[in-house]
Chain A
Amino acid sequence: MDIDVQKVAMLARIRLNDDEATELAPQLNEILGYVDQLAAVNTDGITPTAHPHDAAMPLRANVVTNGNRRDALQAVAPKTESGLYVVPKVIE
């Protein structure tokens, strides 16, 4: 299996130059090959595991418990204006 390093990097929003991509490709392929060993296990008739714990999901009541903490929560944002987060222009 050969991994398309630049495609994976794009999906993860990580910028790689060609040298880095060339260096990473064999390493990533090795990881994939290692994980691929799992494919050798015969899973016929085994129900897929949805979650490692055999627990059902707890649910929350439909009750508002959070107030307005905008100032505290936006303190870590790189840039805000009139209560809005400011980000580089996104074109639809």
Chain B
Amino acid sequence: MNWEVVIGLEVHCQINTKTKAFCGCSTAFGSEPNTQTCPVCLGMPGQLPVLNTLAVDKTILTGLAIGAQINLESKFDRKNYFYPDLPKGYQITQFTVPLVEHGYIDITTKDRGDRRIGITRIHMEEDAGKSMHEGLDAVSHIDLNRSGIPLMEIVSEPDMRSSDEAIAYLKNLHQVIRFLGVSGADMEKGQFRCDANVSVRHPGDEFGTRTEMKNMNSFRFIKQAIDYEVMRQIEVIEDGGEVVQESRLWDSVKNESRSMRSKEEANDYRYFPEPDLPPLRVSQLEVDNIKAGMPELPHQLRARFETEFGLSAYDADVLTQTRELSDWYEALVAAHPADPKRCANWMANELLGRLKELNKNIEDSPVSPNQFGELMDRMGDNTISGKIAKDVLDAMLESGKSADAIIDEKGLKQVSDTGAIDAMILEIMAANQGQVDAYRGGKDKLFGFFVGQVMKASKGKANPGMVNQRLKELLKG
């Protein structure tokens, strides 16, 4: 039977402000528990929240980057539920009128090609504290440092039709958020967490009953969880059962999900307007100013790298994966503008590969853009061949020395002197008379053998173009 998968995603993204959403407590990660709290974020009676202006600006910037509408007046509401990591007994969120509505993210997947995924809304809210259960018997431990950290909740339309599309959407969204600098979006630190709403139906039917997979923070787990849930729902229906609308928790150790239903399942949040906060008003001028300061987005950078520098789509894609990568490449080309394509090629294929082996990101590269550019220039002016350049790059990464210093020190300068090259060729011909005769007798394939021998004799330093040319000449006899 033919099934269609329907996926909608909710992303909770920590906004990287210095202070919490509604108080002057620090948001620094990894501090001693409960050292960054105050009466406001502890929910003490009589305390009043005051919203952080930067959290507002960053949410607006995100909205503009996804082509969304910014609501010049938005509202805050209380979402009521009991949990020990929520000291007030409610979360301040935006329920009726969010700050941002009607945006989109464009994605491409192998199976379904280019698609536009709608974003229903982005609203501001506050994070809860952290509960710890592991290794504890009858109790749980609560750290409220995270309580009140500002979040954007980014809610998509149910527009995705496969787990691959869901991951493509998340990766593109994650990339945009990183480029904007509105969040660290570090998934391991819980700064970018995902809830997935999944249902199945026969194509053309109404939406099926959905389940919600809660709080996943790795692309791999999200894909596994969605795939598992799709199979589970199809089995339930094909066995004559009905999917129950519920929240489920993904267990990444057992590779299965389980129902979070309990006797307290009654998900009745009793939203009502937050009486402590009047409406949030922003002016069109403020929005325009934020728009004017918007950095280039990944897709714009990719297009510019292709047209301005003539890069292949592949290289442009690799070099725009992170802001750090594209900044590094631009610094490289600015300092060494001779051959942007060579720079891109070598950066994408040689430098990044080696950094990966060293377990380093581009921002921790021991070789600076300027030093790397010097190496590119030495190839450009035929001081060294590409083959030697790879050895020089290895030495640069190991020693931190400049390309010129290494070329000098190791005597790697390319031999382009006809006399010297001729001498090497004649020596090799004399030592391999049999092959010379065979070549002259019509065995053209032996040419490669001679090239190899000469390059070997020169320890790779002979200019390959000249070796080819002189060999042809001298082998003619």
- Cross-chain contact A68 with B139 (CB below 8 angstroms): no
Q: Does A15 lie at the interface of the complex (its beta carbon under 8 Å from any beta carbon of B)?
A: no
A81 and B54 CA atoms in complex are apart in Å by 35
> A63-B24, A91-B133 given. 7 additional CB < 8 A pairs?
A50-B279, A61-B52, A66-B26, A70-B32, A82-B33, A86-B139, A89-B138
Contact partners of B55 in chain A: CB under 8 A:
62
A65 and B39 CA atoms in complex are apart in Å by 13
- Cross-chain contact A85 with B144 (CB below 8 angstroms): yes
A60 and B75 CA atoms in complex are apart in Å by 17
Q: Does B434 lie at the interface of the complex (its beta carbon under 8 Å from any beta carbon of A)?
A: no
Contact partners of A13 in chain B: CB under 8 A:
82
- Cross-chain contact B37 with A62 (CB below 8 angstroms): no
- Cross-chain contact B138 with A85 (CB below 8 angstroms): no
- Cross-chain contact B24 with A84 (CB below 8 angstroms): no
Min distance, Cβ A68 to any Cβ of chain B, angstroms: 4
Partner of B142, one of A10, A60, A70, A85: A85
Interface pick from A19-27, A37-45, A51-59: A51-59
Given contacts A88-B139, A88-B140, A92-B249, contact A57 B277 (CB under 8 A): yes
Contact partners of A81 in chain B: CB under 8 A:
141
Contact partners of A53 in chain B: CB under 8 A:
278
Contact partners of B42 in chain A: CB under 8 A:
73
A residues in contact (CB < 8 Å) with B? 7, 10-11, 13, 50-51, 53, 55-66, 68-70, 73-74, 81-92
Q: Determine the residue in chain A with the shortest Cβ distance to B24.
A: A65
B residues in contact (CB < 8 Å) with A? 17-19, 23-26, 32-39, 42, 50-56, 75, 80, 82-84, 97, 131-133, 136-144, 249, 260, 262, 264, 266, 268, 270, 273, 275, 277-281
A82 and B475 CA atoms in complex are apart in Å by 83
Contact partners of A84 in chain B: CB under 8 A:
33-34, 132, 141-143
A-B contacts, 23 listed (Cβ < 8 Å) = A7-B266, A10-B266, A11-B268, A50-B273, A50-B279, A53-B278, A60-B19, A61-B52, A61-B53, A62-B53, A63-B18, A64-B18, A65-B24, A73-B38, A84-B34, A85-B141, A86-B139, A86-B142, A87-B140, A88-B138, A89-B133, A90-B133, A91-B133
- Cross-chain contact B279 with A89 (CB below 8 angstroms): no
Q: Is the interface of A mostly helix, strand, loop or mixed?
A: loop
Contact partners of B260 in chain A: CB under 8 A:
92
Q: Determine the residue in chain B with the shortest Cβ distance to A53.
A: B278
Min distance, Cβ B281 to any Cβ of chain A, angstroms: 4
Q: Determine the residue in chain A with the shortest Cβ distance to B50.
A: A60
Contact partners of A65 in chain B: CB under 8 A:
19, 24
- Cross-chain contact B34 with A83 (CB below 8 angstroms): yes
Q: Determine the residue in chain A with the shortest Cβ distance to B89.
A: A13
